[in-house]
Structure 1
Amino acid sequence: MRADNLTGRITHHGEGPVWSDTWGGLRLVDMMAGELVTVTDAGIRHLSVGSPVAAFHRPRVGGGYVVAIERGIALSDDVDTPPTRSVELWTDPEVRMNDGGADPSGRLYAGSMAYDEEAGRGSLRLIDVDLTARTILPSVSISNGIAFSPDESLCYYVDTPTGRVDVFDHLDGELVNRRPFVEIDRGHPDGLTVAADGSVWVALWDGSAVHGYSADGMLASVIEVAARQVTACTFGGPDLATLFITTSRQGLADGDDPAAGSVFAARPGVSGLPVLPFAG
């Protein structure tokens, strides 16, 4: 299956797509531009979050959104206005936020990485609804996709340089018993999402594809993407059956990989799960 180019080039480093009726459809980040990019039938809107980095975002239970900024998180009470308050989680200027997402309890998992990608400089933190944070994984390299199984018993996680998607048991709100779920032999695992049938969909940086794996770890579907640096994916649309796929121009010359920076879309025959919001 080949994905269709939905938007043409609209970002430099497109990441973190989220479908939510809260903002009228699809929203993603242009990470190193510090922007949220909303894609609806009415057009495309860019919103600066006031930081050089907008790493990932989620709707909030009480309205508005939370966005991971360079060294912390920022919150807005309105989906279409910049954040009004922020929390810094560390001071090291060489480390920045990367991917993350909410858990079934409404807490926020936030991953980081070194700007120079030095191994072990990143971490995975858990941010509670009162905005306090603790470190879950203290030494990761490029903390990337994280998502939960439909029954909430499993959590899938990517530290990109490992070349794997790992899986944890999710017990009493904690992540335990980390183990490999799948090894990636084409490109590098980046963002991921989980469908309602328990299948796991993984974006492949330098792989020009999204791979769909069954709940038992078998490769079940390959969606070809006409851009090399595929960053993340999410299910959306009124029936949650369209897979939206983000791509990046990071490190590319102007004429190289012309469709990179576009959002792509495919209908792989399964439906996704509603986004988990942040309760803080």
Structure 2
Amino acid sequence: MKRIEAGQFTKPLTHHGEGPVWLDRYGLAVLDMLAGDVVLIDDSGTETRREHIGEVVAAIRPRHDGGFVAGVERGFCLLDDRFAVTGTAPCWTAPGVRMNDGDCDPLGRFWCGSMAYDLAPGAGALWRLDPAGGVVKAIAGIGCSNGLAWTRDGTRGYYVDSLTGRVDILELGPDGEIANRRPFADVTGEGFPDGIAVDQADGVWLAMFGSGLLLHFDRTGRRDAEIAVPVRQVTACTFAGPDYSQLYITTSRFGLTDPEAAAGAVFRATPDVGGFAPYAFCG
């Protein structure tokens, strides 16, 4: 199995880094999730801008006609080009549950999943915001909704409910609803599966929170590579840069009484196969 070392790209910028995404002219964005901040980073690894969105910002993606869509503590919001909130779509009111991670699909819809703050089993769900503004609870009874990413041709999504210890495949039916969910890769006992990124060959990079590793699975589910990060709490990853050849990795200091010096920094690695641009929300 191939082993790749990741290099440190930024100084520690976040307490709980999550949700990295390439925002084209804005560059790389990472989330300081539990602070509710979007952090923009330039090519040198320097923080250039920090925008506060709300109590929690769980995921952010570009909108097709400008601005952004985001998952916030208890639902969705729309943002303009200055990151000001222009609309909201609440999903629930219970204070013990928050959004956690999300992605846009090739049909221009934004998906984001929830989890209980105390990780109560079954308290979360996978939600979808449609371009017309409708909100759909696509899957109920989720433990900790985490990584979600779609293949370039849109034929499948990869999805992590961390409490299951695995990555699943989501297949969409002709109406755009989830027609089939089936296991793809099981990592039970190896750590806490977290965020993911999909490459051009439909392979998946999976961040393993607590282990300092990202694992790669080809499109058949065979593990064939890993990336080592010198920080235990790796949270998420994304392909970014003008040609999407490099993988950027977020890390966290959350819950650590004695965190590593680089915890909260962004790391960077160059896998053999690159990625592609994130899908945009069409609403």
TM-score grouping bracket, smaller chain normalisation = over 0.9
Where structure 1 has 5 or more consecutive residues not aligned to the other structure, the ranges are none
Q: Where do residues 24-63 of structure 1 align in structure 2 (5 Å cutoff)?
A: 25-41=27-43, 43-44=46-47, 45-49=49-53, 51-63=54-66
Superposed CA offset, 1:99-120 (max 9, x none): 0111111011110011111010
Contact 1:22/1:59, CA 8 A, preserved across alignment: no
1:4 aligns with 2:15: no
Aligned to 2:239: 235
Q: Where do residues 137-148 of structure 1 align in structure 2 (5 Å cutoff)?
A: 137-148=139-150
2-side partners of 1:76 and 1:246: how far apart? 23
1:204 to 188, 194, 208: 208
- Sequence identity percentage: 44
1-side partners of 2:90 and 2:170: how far apart? 27
Superposed CA offset, 1:78-129 (max 9, x none): 1x33323222111111111110111111011110011111010000011111
Contact 1:155/1:175, CA 8 A, preserved across alignment: no
**SS where residue 9 of structure 1 aligns?**
coil
- RMSD of aligned residue pairs (Cα, Å): 1.2
Aligned to 1:177: 180
- Counterpart of 1:269, as a letter, is D
1-side partners of 2:254 and 2:103: how far apart? 22
1:264 aligns with 2:253: no
1:18 aligns with 2:16: no
2-side partners of 1:131 and 1:110: how far apart? 14
**SS where residue 11 of structure 1 aligns?**
coil
1-side partners of 2:141 and 2:64: how far apart? 31
**SS where residue 235 of structure 1 aligns?**
strand
Contact 1:48/1:82, CA 8 A, preserved across alignment: no
1:220 aligns with 2:224: yes
Where structure 2 has 5 or more consecutive residues not aligned to the other structure, the ranges are none
**SS where residue 32 of structure 1 aligns?**
helix
**TM-score normalised per structure 2:** 0.94
Superposed CA offset, 1:6-31 (max 9, x none): 002100000000012142x1101100
Superposed CA offset, 1:200-251 (max 9, x none): 1111111201111111111111000111111110001121110000011110
Contact 2:89/2:135, CA 8 A, preserved across alignment: no
1:111 to 113, 131, 134: 113
2-side partners of 1:146 and 1:167: how far apart? 10
**SS where residue 5 of structure 2 aligns?**
coil
**TM-score normalised per structure 1:** 0.95
2-side partners of 1:64 and 1:134: how far apart? 22
